[in-house]
Amino acid sequence: MRDKYDVVVIGGGPAGLSAATVLGRSRRSVLVVDAGEPRNAPAAHAHNVLSRDGAAPLDLLAAGRDEVRTYGGETEAGTVADVRRDDDGFVVALADGRTVGARRILSAAGLRDVLPDVPGLAELWGTDVLHCPYCHGWEVRDQPIGILGGGPLSLHTAHLFRQLTDDVTVFVHTDDEPPADALARLAARGMRIVRGEVVGVETNGGRLHGVRLSSGEVVAVRALAVRPQFLARAEHLAGLGLHAQPVEVQGQVMGAAVPSDAMGATSVRGVWVAGNVTDLGGQVMTSAAAGLMAGAAINADLVARDTDQAVAAAGEHEHEQEHDERAQHGHGAADLDGMFDVAFWEERYSGKEPAWSGRANATLVAEVSGLAPGTALEIAAGEGGDAMWLAEQGWQVTATDFAAAGLARGAAEAAERGIADRITWRQADITAWTGDATYDLVTAHYLHPAPEQRAAVTRTMASLVAPGGHLLIVGHHVLDLATTMPRPNIPELFTDADELLTHLDPAQWDVLACDARPRDAVDPEGRPVRLHEAVLHLRRR
């Protein structure tokens, strides 16, 4: 396994392999982690599979794995124990201790069939003990067939099997007596009712021979249809807050499944489900179709995210030039003081046209996209492009700047976008901060405080991060002074992430990023240039 994939698919059944194939054909990196416990392994044949009817289930899966590999997908034997959200997607933990990263998750882990508590059923499951007339009915046609249970779903099954044989016996077992109209419908089609608890099965040569009642009577049948409880294999999703929920049909709980929309999307952003984990009645073909749809939805979601990041990156050159106007009106110590002149920025933000592009910074998008939304504080928000992007992702944002004109322009734009209720605009100077509220995310882009204020400003921003919250500081790196990209000739203005980190107590933080992050750009003369951003991303312990 590599360190990270676009998509990790949990479960190598029809749904998981189908999704992995469509993702591979879209040139996504995809890993299928399969525990090797297919639900239909006891069955000799799979049916209703167009052009492959009667194929052995394990042969179908082997062919599916080959198809996934044809398009660059990978398969790995293993059991997924846990999935957790990471800062840039998810971390998938296998039971053997290995971990792998993923931008998106598809769980197609299937379900467990919990059989009625009758001795002998498990040994015959998938051969003579059945549950689906469409999967196995033709193979037991014209034979004596028993139906275990007198509940609504069992009686429905009885009518389906009656299409295949004239000899159907309904064992009421431990269920309540069926209502009179239901009994009349059974009798009208010549089906027999047997009352009494079923305590076992009789076999002959390893095949079902009869059903034994508590009275000692044995009723001859050659197949027995039962109604298991269908329980989705969803334990690995619990860490994300996803759990299987009861599914009720005709007033009877048939099992538990993970809720999803028509394309398999769950309530957790970035997580999809397909197949029996969400559709308890799904067969091979329908599960494969659900996997295809979920795979296509995941690819579309990734395409949208990649496009957003590309747009942000394309505008980064313009965005950073705008920020650098803070330092473009001179050189030397006197001009450094002028950079922090409120009057200059009030005039700048009061112009007819917006001062900034309105796009979110690419590094913010890259670092924050995988975080669960909460409360956020943006320092030096300007006209609020970053704040509005955060609000649109679900964050409750406080946007601050020492120039009121920029905040007013941002508030007007937020109102037009319909997100005014998600952003509080506050005129404030981080060098003279008041208030003790804390936030799940504190961020500042290209703030560049004066050298003598840098340590205090960094500590102030850090003090505003709640336990478990994130601090993200991004600035132009000092390495950029050696490029042809316009930068103020004030070396002391620039720093790197390592220096910022020295101002904080390392015992209080987990370091998620502390680097000079390179990226390619084009200078005003059209020449390619390699820039570096000082990125410090921390999580408070």
Q: Are residues 254 and 215 in the same domain?
A: no
Q: What is the model's pLDDT at position 489?
A: 66
d(CA 105, CA 229): 26
Does 281 share its domain with 382? no
pLDDT at 322 over 80: no
Alpha-helical segments (H) within 339-445: 342-349, 362-368, 385-392, 404-417
Once rounded to an integer, what is the mean pLDDT over residues 294-312?
Answer: 88
Mean pLDDT of all residues in 468-479: 90
Domain-embedded: residue 43 = yes
Give yes or no for residue 326 having a pLDDT over 50. Answer: no
C-alpha 395, offset from chain centre: 18
Single residue among 283, 305, 327 that ends a domain in this structure: 305
Q: What's the rounded mean pLDDT across residues 363-369?
A: 92
The tokens for 445 are 């882009």
Assess whether 160 and 187 both reside in one domain: yes
Domain boundary among 207, 225, 243: 225
- Are 264 and 290 in contact by the 8 Å Cβ rule? The answer is yes
Considering the domain architecture, whether residues 171 and 33 belong to the same structural domain is answered as no
Q: Are residues 323 and 441 in the same domain?
A: yes
Q: How confident is the model at residue 315 (pLDDT cuts 50, 70, 90)?
A: low
In a domain, 310, yes or no: no
Predicted confidence at residue 97, as pLDDT, reads 95
Domain co-membership, 513 together with 442: yes
Radius of gyration of the chain (CA): 31
Q: Is residue 49 part of a domain?
A: yes
Between the CA of residue 21 and those of 26, 60, 211, what are the distances in Å?
A: 9, 14, 44
> Mean pLDDT of all residues in the chain?
89
Q: Which domain holds residue 279?
A: 4-111+229-305
- In this structure, the answer to whether residues 360 and 461 fall within a common structural domain is yes
Rounded to an integer, the average pLDDT of 207-234 is: 95
Residue 321: is its pLDDT beyond 70?
A: no
- 16-26 pLDDT tens trace: 999 999 999 99
Write the Ramachandran bin of 498: left for phi over 0, alpha for psi from -120 to 50, otherwise beta.
alpha
- Rounded CA separation 463/540 (Å): 10
Using pLDDT thresholds of 50, 70 and 90, give the confidence band for residue 527: confident
pLDDT at residue 324 tops 80: no
The phi and psi torsions of 230 (rounded to 5 degrees) equal -95, 110
pLDDT at site 330: 35
- Alpha-carbon gap, residue 110 to 253, rounded angstroms: 18
Share of the chain above pLDDT 90, in %: 65
At 62 the pLDDT is: 93
Residues 6+ apart with CB under 8 A from 199: 118, 119, 212, 213, 214
In a shared domain, residues 351 and 476: yes
Q: What is the pLDDT of residue 478?
A: 76
CATH number at residue 371: 3.40.50.150
Per-residue pLDDT at 328: 40
Q: Which pLDDT score is estimated for 361?
A: 87
Beta bridge partners of 220: 210
pLDDT band at 339 (very low <50, low <70, confident <90, very high): low
* Residue 103 pLDDT > 50: yes
210 Cβ partners below 8 Å, 6+ apart? 201, 202, 218, 219, 220, 221
Contact 30, 6 (CB under 8 A): yes
> What average pLDDT does range 329-356 have in this prediction?
59
Of 54 and 30, the one with more pLDDT: 30
DSSP state of 446: S
Residues 500 and 527 in one domain: yes
Does position 83 have pLDDT exceeding 50, yes or no? yes
Is pLDDT of 273 > 70?
yes
pLDDT at 157 over 80: yes
The three-point CA angle 263-228-171 to 5° equals 140
pLDDT at 325: 45
For residue 312 the two structure tokens come to: 């942000």
**What pLDDT was estimated at residue 333?**
37
Who has greater pLDDT, 450 or 159? 159
pLDDT in tens, 402-445: 888 889 888 988 998 899 999 999 999 998 898 889 999 999 99
Q: Which of 168, 199, 225 is the last residue of a domain?
A: 225
* 358 and 495 share one domain: yes
pLDDT at 336: 46
257 lies in the same domain as 397: no
318 band by pLDDT with thresholds 50, 70 and 90: low
- How many folded domains does the chain comprise? 3
Q: Is the model's pLDDT at 235 over the cut of 60? A: yes
Output 98 or 39, whichever has higher pLDDT: 98
Q: Between residues 306 and 157, which one has the greater pLDDT? A: 157
Cα(81)–Cα(508) distance, integer angstroms:
29
- Are residues 59 and 155 both part of a single domain? no
Phi then psi dihedrals of residue 340, to 5 deg: -105, 30
